[in-house]
Structure 1
Amino acid sequence: MMALSAAQNSRTHQRLSSQRWSSLNFDQVNVLGDDASYGHTGCVNTLSWARDGELLLSGGDDRTVQIWRMDPAVEHDYPFVCRSIIHTGHGANIFNAHMLPYSSNIATVAGDGQVRVHEVGEIAHTGPPATSQLDSRHTCIRRLRCHDNRIKRIVTEDSPHLFLTVSEDGTVRQHDLRTSHECDYSSCPPPLTKLNFELSTISLSPLTPFHYVVAGESENGYLFDRRQAGRFLMEERGMVENGMTHCVRRFGRPDGSFDPHSTREHITGARISSQNGHEVLLSYSADAVYLYSTRDEPEEEDMASRSPPLSPNHGAAKPTSSKRPRDDSSSDEDEDMAMDNDDNASDDEGPDLFFRKPKVSAPDEYAGVPMILPRARFAGARNVDTIKDVNFLGPDDQFVTSGSDDGNFFVWRKDGTLCGLFEGDGVVVNVIEGHPHLPLIATSGIDTTVKLFAPVSGPSTFSRMDAAERIIASNARQSKISRKLRRHDLAALLAAVVSDENTNVQCNHQ
């Protein structure tokens, strides 16, 4: 009887949650970090929910990770307060932070090319009466330098010991805290994947943990399979073997959906659905967000005339197999400087201080791997100025969301219909994370604060749906200008960026 009651309560909770999501009448319900006693002092680059949504982690340019926890003693509908501030000791901006499952360890990655693991004990769980300051000299239990360029993302696994990281050195690495080694670039375990261009994003789903998607300075996203299926079978299917993993699919766009003269392709965000394990989102710089499915059959050369099942706001047809030249320029590590970095690095040291080796363009080594075309396209947001993530929202991942350079975040239904548009930052929204159970959304970007959005009964003060047409048109014009500048007058663009940096406080986290 108790089990039946629990199941009924779960279904009731899910139904009520779905009803509150359905209208998307959300509004800003709290701002974390606007109190002078705590909060970040730079852009907030990463948000992640931990302990089944009890905790919210934030990290950013000030190189701290802040742990926010609900406090019933605070008189607020969403009483998240900062309980711990970890001074991580990173020498550059923090790009990602996650608490490892079944533990009190928090892994962080940054522009200094380091992975740091911090043991926070029960402070994160129970919390002291006031905000505690934790120094990395006491909390940092592991410092890894297996990557030789900036590390952008962490993916946790169903283990307190294992997690993946992706770096601009083109590699994906798995770290096992049960083993130790000296990072001298020869004794480190081999990477799971190594590509010949910068990688900036990775995602896997708990439903399909053997699959992960990576993307970066390429026109395609790549699906890798960690299961060993046999070398000869893989070769017979035309797939390329790479270390411990196999690239089994590419994700691309059909001709006409992008500027064919573009000299720089870049995917800024990737996400595999945690609810179904097969839907994949990719966010393209200066373009739009695209939805794929690993269950779809790849396009064949003789199927080039068939239009893909895109939403009505897409105006293209044929798949592409041609490769366009890229103007690749990146950075590598000044190894001695990175290795000598200590916990007292200056706050004005940017990530480019560590890595300055220019990169050269290279052909797609997986050009023969079958390509999947998108199911839908989500347009309206502007993704040019910073590196924006992409995400699903809702209890069934029924919504798609992305931040925008205009300070808003967009929410679409799976058919491509815009159903929510909210002001989420004073400048740019980069990160949007939905609570694992509650109809609650956390956003961050250039501002030093974290905003929380939840359903409200009355009108939404921060909704911008009434100005959606104007905002979308403005974003389209600005994106078009940016593409023209990239293509025809790169020098002018760089001069404009330098001028803007000299006159405005900008986030340099990406």
Structure 2
Amino acid sequence: METTNFKRSKHGFFQEIINREMIISSPQTFSRHFSSSQVIVEKIDLYGKLNGHEGCVNTVEFNFNGDILVSGSDDKHVMLWNWATKTKTLCYASGHLDNIFQARIMPLTDDKRIITSSADGQVRLGEILENGQVKTGRLGKHQGRVHCLAVEPGSPHIFFSCGEDGLVQHYDLRCGSALKLFHCFSFKETNSPPLNIRLNAIIIDPRNPNYFAIGGSDEYARVYDIRRYQSDGSNVSDEPVNLFCPHHLFHSNHVHITGLAYSKASELLVSYNDELIYLFQENMGLGPSPLSLESETQLRNEEPQVYAGHRNSRTVKGVSFFGPKDEYVMSGSDCGHIFIWRKKGAKLVRVMVGDRRIVNHLEPHPCMPFLATCGFDKDVKLWAPMAGDAPALPKNLKKITESNRQNREDQSPATLAPDVIMHVVRLQRRQMFEYVERRYSRPDLESDEEDEDEDYISGLTNDITFSEEYPGENFGDCKIS
């Protein structure tokens, strides 16, 4: 059956070429069908590597035209690449005091303005001057790591940030400062003050830029309407207009969201830590609050499409669409592989080795069937359709997916007694304070790997402030985020 399907899709692909040569189909139609052809996706393979960073690369993004690629790394440097020639065109020190988690080129700025976020809690701007020098400055600050930035589609001025302190901030480069919109709080019913949600992802709906979604340390992807918030920041309440969550994860205490993506049709893609990836249609929302919904109403909602086979546990992984009409879904994995599924039906169509350890981020080209990826390796990898007879799916695919599934299930949460939980919390806090004291008192940190576990524990808290005078660190190995 698989061979028959391949032949049918292959025949359809060559028929598109014939139609193009006979001027039966337009260049735009041919380009769209070419890029979305499963034959092309199955041929995607390693095109090249971009070497230059001295730490693992956490973020890559194409500019609006797709000819320039920007990357950011644990080495605190930002690099611009001509990916077609595999050459570095610019490298500058970002001014961050810790690992860069995201770098984005602002549209309609002639690729001269680059915004970045980092584990140091800062959001910074790099401006490329006429003489080729880069001026950097801080735009905003969070009390915790800032994993994600969201740029308003087509705007050279407006973007948002979210941090592990639960704060969402709005930026207008014409003002040069940050506006605090609101803190995101947990929906859990407790007698104590509400807890901040540690935010990992923020994304703007390209079809309706007034709406943006955020996700973090609970099971709900929250959608907000920016028009509800005053320009002076006086309305600081956390008031989502809609929530998205799979039924079996309602009121879950062991999952959190690491990545979000909107399709061109406003479908919302949600990637969960040590769970799976889910695709929600607009009509699958739960409303503004899960506490006000009856279980029967929730169960009547249609279930989202599910994408399985990978594992998302050790790092904060992104998720993305691929294809001119978002025909595919992509994700990295803890097993070092890149997974590509058909969006409709969730059939796995391509699996390839993308990193020696973990693939964190995948960035599709804006108009061609190319993509860039990054992970624990210190390079950026480029992928494109290549001639060759290599199988689209590895022979040991069943072993890979079964290992990912088994490891995920082995990490399912155990039930602990309250006194055991309190003991663990006390140990974590003690380790965190010891780590902070050592971090700011020792100018000669030995290695990232030595402090890796302690750094992860510190990321679980919301009350850490970052020193503006942090002296720097060794970038030999990536930190688990």
- Does residue 473 of the first structure (1) align with residue 402 of the second (2)? yes
The 2-side partners of 1:105 and 1:95 are apart by 17
Alignment of 1:426-505 (within 5 A): 426-460=356-390, 464-484=393-413, 501-502=449-450
- Taking structure 1 as the reference length, the TM-score comes to 0.69
TM-superposed deviation, 1:271: 0.9
SS at match of 1:151: coil
Q: Measured at CA, do residues 254 and 242 of structure 1 come closer, stay the same or move farther in structure 2, by a change above 3 Å?
A: farther
The one-letter code sitting in structure 1 at the alignment partner of 2:217 is: E
Which segments of 5 or more consecutive residues in structure 1 lack a partner in the other structure? Answer: 34-38, 71-77, 124-133, 182-187, 231-240, 311-374
Which segments of 5 or more consecutive residues in structure 2 lack a partner in the other structure? Answer: 1-22, 186-195, 288-292, 429-434, 436-447, 453-475
The 1-side partners of 2:36 and 2:78 are apart by 32
Q: Measured at CA, do residues 437 and 487 of structure 1 come closer, stay the same or move farther in structure 2, by a change above 3 Å?
A: farther
- Does residue 226 of the first structure (1) align with residue 234 of the second (2)? no
* C-alpha contact 1:226 1:244 (8 A) present in aligned 2: no
Q: Measured at CA, do residues 8 and 116 of structure 1 come closer, stay the same or move farther in structure 2, by a change above 3 Å?
A: same
The 2-side partners of 1:58 and 1:172 are apart by 24
Q: Measured at CA, do residues 305 and 82 of structure 1 come closer, stay the same or move farther in structure 2, by a change above 3 Å?
A: closer
- Does residue 217 of the first structure (1) align with residue 213 of the second (2)? no
- Does residue 142 of the first structure (1) align with residue 137 of the second (2)? yes
The one-letter code sitting in structure 2 at the alignment partner of 1:142 is: G
Other-structure match for 1:120: 128
Cα displacement string for residues 43-86 of structure 1 (whole angstroms, at most 9, x for unaligned residues): 1100111141010111110111110114xxxxxxx422111111
Which one is further off, 9-18 or 449-458? Answer: 9-18
Other-structure match for 1:392: 321
Selected match of 1:67 from 70, 76, 80: 80
Alignment of 1:148-187 (within 5 A): 148-157=143-152, 158-180=154-176
Other-structure match for 1:12: 30
Which one is further off, 40-49 or 478-487? Answer: 478-487
Other-structure match for 1:128: none
The 2-side partners of 1:118 and 1:48 are apart by 15
TM-superposed deviation, 1:224: 0.6
Q: Measured at CA, do residues 444 and 21 of structure 1 come closer, stay the same or move farther in structure 2, by a change above 3 Å?
A: farther
Alignment of 1:25-174 (within 5 A): 25-33=43-51, 39-70=52-83, 78-103=84-109, 104-121=112-129, 139-157=134-152, 158-174=154-170
* C-alpha contact 1:393 1:399 (8 A) present in aligned 2: yes
TM-superposed deviation, 1:458: 1.7
Cα displacement string for residues 2-38 of structure 1 (whole angstroms, at most 9, x for unaligned residues): xxx9x933233223323366552211111111xxxxx
The 1-side partners of 2:298 and 2:114 are apart by 49
* C-alpha contact 1:384 1:482 (8 A) present in aligned 2: no
The 1-side partners of 2:285 and 2:91 are apart by 47
The 2-side partners of 1:473 and 1:270 are apart by 25
Q: Measured at CA, do residues 308 and 388 of structure 1 come closer, stay the same or move farther in structure 2, by a change above 3 Å?
A: same
Other-structure match for 2:330: 401
Q: Measured at CA, do residues 305 and 446 of structure 1 come closer, stay the same or move farther in structure 2, by a change above 3 Å?
A: closer
Q: Measured at CA, do residues 297 and 222 of structure 1 come closer, stay the same or move farther in structure 2, by a change above 3 Å?
A: closer
TM-superposed deviation, 1:457: 2.8
* C-alpha contact 2:199 2:217 (8 A) present in aligned 1: yes
The 1-side partners of 2:236 and 2:212 are apart by 15
The 2-side partners of 1:81 and 1:167 are apart by 33
Which one is further off, 480-489 or 469-478? Answer: 480-489
TM-superposed deviation, 1:482: 2.3
Other-structure match for 1:412: 341
- What is the number of residues matched between the two proteins? 389
The one-letter code sitting in structure 2 at the alignment partner of 1:161 is: H
The one-letter code sitting in structure 1 at the alignment partner of 2:207 is: L
- Does residue 383 of the first structure (1) align with residue 396 of the second (2)? no
Q: Once the two structures are aligned, what percentage of the paired residues are identical?
A: 32
SS at match of 1:286: coil
Other-structure match for 1:272: 262
Other-structure match for 1:294: 282
* C-alpha contact 1:382 1:476 (8 A) present in aligned 2: yes
